[in-house]
């Protein structure tokens, strides 16, 4: 049963945390820990962002079934039905730590600094970094579609469609996405059917009893309340794969123009997250930073890699529009910050975000713009100071972070 906190098709729940709270821990909690301190107003507060196109679902796990179908020549017309217990007991459980980010993260900056766009006015908090545990989708597909792993023809042109049919959504009868089959079969991608988040049962808000988690790829493809998977020769035909979450070319100056020029059909769906870095302290344009006794100001942020090219290995910060750059300290997310004993002592995962911190010498002044620039292990780096505009305001990764900062 839906409650008033679950939103509706017309008015779904979409929220992001205060950015200061978001960067308090490497693993983003679904809700903040209940603190013993009386009067702590943050305790029990939702931290990990919520992005919904329809109402949040509450599904009885004992009744839930995941159906896997195949339309591809390797083994067409097979169909498997798995319970949640099957997903837990029949397959090796895998834990992946990854940043899950809405493609519209940072949209407010694109809108306010470059040009108006259409879409929810996200700040920089539509992202979380969590550990997700469940079977690898690869193993489940190989089980359901015998012969898939040994298939000689290659996976080119094949797609894994994922669906949630539990509810209507704003622009379609169901929610769906797809990724190329090669992504799922790639053992380096660690695509999981998550039953747990941060070592606890998956919360309803984040897709219980099972959601797909596609590391390195925009959040829209990680389907919550997952009930159907189709191995297919074509992409998902769902609205959110075909008519949303695309970086339209600049000729798409309005929704009407995009339709008229057929640009939705001509533009591929977004998949990989772009490399990105966000200034979280100071958390808002126009904020004031206080110099310490040594004349330095503290700046903190997070950075995420492009696709599977992580982790982020370097972040630089400038407070004078790129004349001087300072290397940050990257706070390690590998050893200490895991709920999974198997991951203790391992280096930071390639899909995880990094939190960073830097102390920059500064004079008291006004109107300071803070830039931050990340580079990942694959050598991808951020180059655009103001970022490139697109109609839907997705994939924004400008170097320019906070503007109009006062230093005292």
What residues line the site for Mo ion (CB under 5 A)? 51, 102, 219-220
Q: Which residues pair with 406 in a beta bridge?
A: 288
Asked whether position 164 contacts ligand MTE by CB under 6 A, the answer is yes
376-400 burial code (b ≥16 CB/10 A, e <16): bebebebeeeebebbbbbbbbbbbb
Complex with Mo ion: residue 70 or 167, whichever CB lies closer: 167
Q: Which of 27, 49, 191, 398 binds ligand MTE (CB under 6 A)?
A: 49
Q: Which residues pair with 196 in a beta bridge?
A: 133, 201
Asked whether position 236 contacts ligand MTE by CB under 6 A, the answer is no
Give the span between the Cα atoms of 110 and 104, in whole angstroms: 10
Complex with ligand MTE: residue 155 or 174, whichever CB lies closer: 174
Question: How many Cα atoms sit within 13 Å of 153 on the Cβ side?
Answer: 11
Asked whether position 30 contacts ligand MTE by CB under 6 A, the answer is no
Closest residue to ligand MTE in the complex (CB): 219
What's the token pair of residue 119? 């879409």
292-308 burial code (b ≥16 CB/10 A, e <16): eeeeebebbbbbbbbbb
What's the token pair of residue 301? 């942020």
- Phi first, then psi, for residue 206 (nearest 5°) are -105, 15
Supply the minimum distance, in Å, between the C-beta of residue 395 and Mo ion.
11
Q: Which of 6, 19, 26, 50 binds ligand MTE (CB under 6 A)?
A: 50
Supply the minimum distance, in Å, between the C-beta of residue 222 and ligand MTE.
5
Q: Which of 224, 239, 246, 373 binds ligand MTE (CB under 6 A)?
A: 224
Q: Which of 102, 208, 280, 360 binds ligand MTE (CB under 6 A)?
A: 102
What's the token pair of residue 223? 């389907």
Supply the minimum distance, in Å, between the C-beta of residue 217 and ligand MTE.
11
Question: How many Cα atoms sit within 13 Å of 42 on the Cβ side?
Answer: 12
Q: Which of 26, 51, 317, 373 binds ligand MTE (CB under 6 A)?
A: 51
Q: Which residues contact ligand MTE by CB under 6 A?
A: 48-54, 102, 164, 169, 175, 206, 219-220, 222-225
């Amino acid at each position: 049963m839906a409650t008033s906190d679950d939103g509706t098709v017309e008015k779904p729940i979409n929220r992001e945390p205060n950015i200061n709270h978001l960067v308090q821990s490497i693993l983003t909690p679904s809700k903040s820990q209940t603190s013993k301190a009386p009067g702590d107003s943050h305790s029990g507060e939702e931290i990990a962002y919520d992005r919904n196109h329809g109402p949040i679902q509450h599904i009885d796990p004992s009744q839930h079934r995941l159906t896997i179908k195949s339309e591809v020549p390797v083994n067409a017309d097979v169909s498997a039905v798995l319970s949640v217990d099957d997903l837990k007991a029949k397959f090796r459980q895998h834990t992946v730590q990854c940043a899950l980010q809405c493609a519209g993260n940072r949209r407010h900056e694109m809108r306010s600094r470059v040009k108006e766009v259409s879409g929810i006015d996200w700040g920089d908090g539509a992202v979380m970094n969590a550990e997700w545990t469940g079977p690898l989708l690869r193993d489940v597909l190989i089980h359901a579609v015998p012969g898939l792993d040994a298939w000689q023809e290659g996976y080119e042109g094949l797609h894994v469609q994922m669906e949630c049919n539990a509810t209507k959504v704003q622009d379609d009868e169901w929610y769906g996405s797809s990724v190329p089959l090669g992504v799922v079969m790639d053992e380096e991608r660690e695509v999981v059917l998550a039953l747990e988040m941060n070592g606890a049962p998956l919360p309803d808000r984040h897709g219980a009893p099972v959601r797909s988690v596609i590391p390195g790829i925009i959040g829209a493809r990680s389907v919550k309340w997952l009930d159907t998977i189709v191995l297919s020769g074509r992409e998902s035909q769902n609205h959110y794969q075909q008519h949303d979450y695309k970086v339209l070319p600049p000729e798409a100056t309005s929704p009407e123009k995009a339709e008229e020029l057929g640009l939705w059909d001509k533009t591929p769906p977004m998949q990989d997250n772009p490399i990105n870095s966000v200034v979280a302290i100071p958390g808002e344009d126009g904020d004031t930073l206080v110099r310490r006794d040594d004349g330095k100001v503290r700046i903190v942020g997070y950075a995420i890699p492009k696709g599977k090219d992580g982790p982020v290995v370097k972040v630089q910060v400038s407070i004078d529009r790129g004349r001087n750059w300072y290397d940050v300290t990257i706070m390690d997310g590998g050893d200490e910050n895991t709920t999974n004993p198997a991951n203790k002592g391992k280096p930071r995962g390639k899909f995880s975000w990094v939190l960073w911190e830097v102390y920059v010498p500064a004079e008291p002044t006004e109107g300071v713009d803070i830039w931050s620039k990340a580079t990942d292990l694959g050598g991808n780096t951020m180059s655009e100071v103001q970022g490139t505009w697109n109609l839907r305001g997705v994939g924004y990764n400008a170097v320019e972070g906070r503007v109009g900062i006062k230093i005292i």
